Structure 1
Amino acid sequence: MIAMLYVIAFSAALTYFFNVSFSGSLILFSVASIIYTVIPKPSGVAQATIFREIWTGEVIKFVTAALKDTFMQGIADYSKYVSNVGDEAQAIHISSMNVLPEVLINNTTYPLGITDQAIDDILIQLNKYQTVATPITDDEMYASSVKKMDLVKDRHGKAIVKAMIKMALHALAPAGNTAKMPVLLTTGEADPTGRIRMKMGDLLTLKTAADDLEIDEASRRLVLSSQHVNDLIWEDKKLEGFFFNRATGAVQQNLLSFDVHTHISNPYFNPTTKVKLAYGAVPAVTDHKASVLFSLDRAAKAMGWTKMYFSEAKNDTQYQRNLVNFRQYGIVLPTAEEQRGAIVSGNA
């Protein structure tokens, strides 16, 4: 019915604009439609394209939603500036002003003077996250394709989000102890393993450091390690629920001027040297995960392409299975070597 309406509409348009008889136009479009239906066309191309687009979109929605309620929410997003470099490599230019202009108050002397604003154009290549392929047999596809693909989409999306969060925390943590990026040590009692627990007084020390660094209180974000969360809950037995809600177990999000988040994938530090371990390095028993402090004003993020790869079962004569995996481009990073910090457990 729709095809017939299109034929009639195009025939009427041809008649109106080119002064061709309506009957002639109708015959012309009808014959053209019949010829098109018998022309050999590649099978499965449109379906495969739509299939990829649908599930790529589902993974994009999953990753976006999963990252929304993490410490990454509120970080300046530069995704719209991502561009291609070379063979599909994705990168972004970030121009950062590292020097603030001097502010004159009630000035009476002119000229005002000139301060050069050094603008660094930095080209940063986005990280590439690739999942290992998951097999889906033809039997599984035809029997319950939506349920199977939903499961695959969720698992691959979760794996990508987990990797992005872990790498983002590692990037935002300072490499070592400096005046502008202090790495502090905990001062609580030792636990049974000899690790020094965090106590509430350590958060006060960190607040003092943030004050000294002149980090705007509205932009102070603290990501506590799971160990430090447990330490503070342990101490909070004597503080009557100051740190966490006894009814729900939730950690207070606003604490001592910090916007508090928690995670289990914080980066490891060597407490003796106060140096951050390389990403993926195997920690020693004396190395511990650090809680990370950063300023939202000194951080940036960008999300690039999400691509789905799908190998059809018709090309697999032995196992008759489809292979599915995904690639995601993205990055989270500090924009200046300042206004960051960390606090790590020492050893007794």
Structure 2
Amino acid sequence: MKFKTLQFLTVVTTVLVALLVNAAVGAAIAAIFGFSAWKGAVVANLVAIFLLPHLPKNVARAGVLTEVWTGEMIKAFRTPPTAVGWYDRVRSYDQYVNQDVIHFTELGGDPNVLVNNKTYPLNITKLEDADKAVTLDYFDTEATPVTDDELHAVSYPKMESVLERHREALKEKTWAKAIHAYAPDGNKADKTPVLTTTGEAVDGRNRMVVDDLVALKAQFDKMGVPQDGRILVLCPDHSNDLLLTSKNYAEHYNINDTEGKITRLYGFDIYEYGKTPYFNATTLNKIQFDKAPAATDMQASVAFHAGSMMKANGSVQFYHQDAVNDPLHHRSLVNFRKWNLALPLKSNCTRAAIVSAKAS
């Protein structure tokens, strides 16, 4: 009799703990999106209850709310990333993504234009357009363990905290991949110029000065880049250089906190980002993404036209191994896969970079 009573109390306690954990998680999510906390608590428990048939029988525990977490992750990626304003300026192609693949129409060229032509019949030029399917990149987070002890004992919504950290890590990686893709692969005159800084020598490199921005403007003018939509993303070194050498730049730094834009200077909307790509300071070729820079490499600032770039978010997959299937550790494992793509709309798109010159 005592054993059965103990079993009953254990089940009741487990159920109560599960309800409380789900209620806390649901209330926290509701509060984030401006809904009533009690409604969030009720919805979370209803979701958990409907998921119970998929769990082993006679097990009452706080489940991992897969649909809830996946939905929150998708909403987070659809929200404009105001902290990275240059990325927000690029057109989104989300609506064209199908099964994490996006289809582009590659234009075959333009017709010849004749002036004062007197020769007939006219030549026929066929413009061959083609479908170009591009698969989105996928980004995986490493799995995070969440034990039953943590879910039952911690005083904060553990799963929400894990979700937030995975989400922010994925955002940072996709932004870094995007700015790397928007940068030119190397120095090609009149198409993808890679300029070098010309200021005073400091710490083994030459500072960026206003003259370097003027030289960049001259290159964009020469290449015929539209004046509206010119973006310049400064690396921290170059931003700090301009704070010391440009009064105009320093006066506008951090005035605009909503769009992330620092100022508009010499025809460029200027932003700052700490994970711009590295270039070989001698060859002026871009270093591979996620490769550790060598002593010969320098971080670059990246310039492009917003209308010439694209971005697209695909699906989000939430993976988890439930603690009920781990008799040794009693822990759940959770991680995410996020599909995303950021590229120039054309492979030969005009763009530029400024690399710190190695001080001699």
TM-score range, shorter chain: 0.7 to 0.9
| 1:222-276 C-alpha deviation (Å, 9 max, x unpaired) | 111111101111213xx3x444436859773322111211111011001211111
Distance 1:110 1:151, change over 3 A: farther
Q: Does 1:287 align with 2:287?
A: no
The 8 Å contact of residues 183 and 352 in structure 2, kept in 1 or not, is answered as: yes
| 1:34-64 C-alpha deviation (Å, 9 max, x unpaired) | xxxxxx955479x999811111111122233
Question: Aligned partners of 1:92 and 1:72: how far apart in 2?
Answer: 19
Ranges in structure 2 where 5+ consecutive residues have no aligned partner: 1-51
> Cα offset for 1:171?
0.9
Distance 1:216 1:249, change over 3 A: closer
Partner of 1:340: 351
Question: Aligned partners of 1:305 and 1:146: how far apart in 2?
Answer: 29
The 8 Å contact of residues 63 and 160 in structure 1, kept in 2 or not, is answered as: no
Ranges in structure 1 where 5+ consecutive residues have no aligned partner: 1-39, 85-89
Moved over 6 A (4+): 47-50, 102-114
Partner of 2:70: 56
Q: Does 1:272 align with 2:282?
A: yes
Q: Does 1:94 align with 2:104?
A: yes
> Cα offset for 1:166?
0.9
Q: How does 1:198-217 map to 2 (within 5 A)?
A: 198-217=208-227
Partner of 2:91: 76
Q: How does 1:132-143 map to 2 (within 5 A)?
A: 132-143=142-153
Partner of 1:223: 233
The 8 Å contact of residues 63 and 158 in structure 1, kept in 2 or not, is answered as: no
Identity %: 38
1:298 to 275, 300, 308: 308
Query: Which amino acid in 2 is paired with 1:338?
Result: C
Q: Does 1:245 align with 2:252?
A: yes
Q: How does 1:1-348 map to 2 (within 5 A)?
A: 42-43=54-55, 51-65=65-79, 67-70=81-84, 71-84=86-99, 90-97=100-107, 99-100=109-110, 116-143=126-153, 147-179=157-189, 180-191=191-202, 193-236=203-246, 239=247, 241-245=248-252, 252-336=262-346, 337-348=348-359
> Cα offset for 1:121?
2.4
Distance 1:280 1:151, change over 3 A: same
Question: Aligned partners of 1:107 and 1:220: how far apart in 2?
Answer: 38
Query: Which amino acid in 2 is paired with 1:78?
Result: Y
> Cα offset for 1:151?
0.9
Distance 1:117 1:208, change over 3 A: farther
> Cα offset for 1:202?
0.3
The 8 Å contact of residues 235 and 274 in structure 2, kept in 1 or not, is answered as: yes
Question: Aligned partners of 2:68 and 2:243: how far apart in 1?
Answer: 44
The 8 Å contact of residues 62 and 154 in structure 1, kept in 2 or not, is answered as: no
The 8 Å contact of residues 66 and 161 in structure 1, kept in 2 or not, is answered as: no
Question: Aligned partners of 1:298 and 1:225: how far apart in 2?
Answer: 21
The 8 Å contact of residues 174 and 340 in structure 1, kept in 2 or not, is answered as: yes
Partner of 2:14: none
User: Radius of gyration: which is bigger?
Assistant: 1
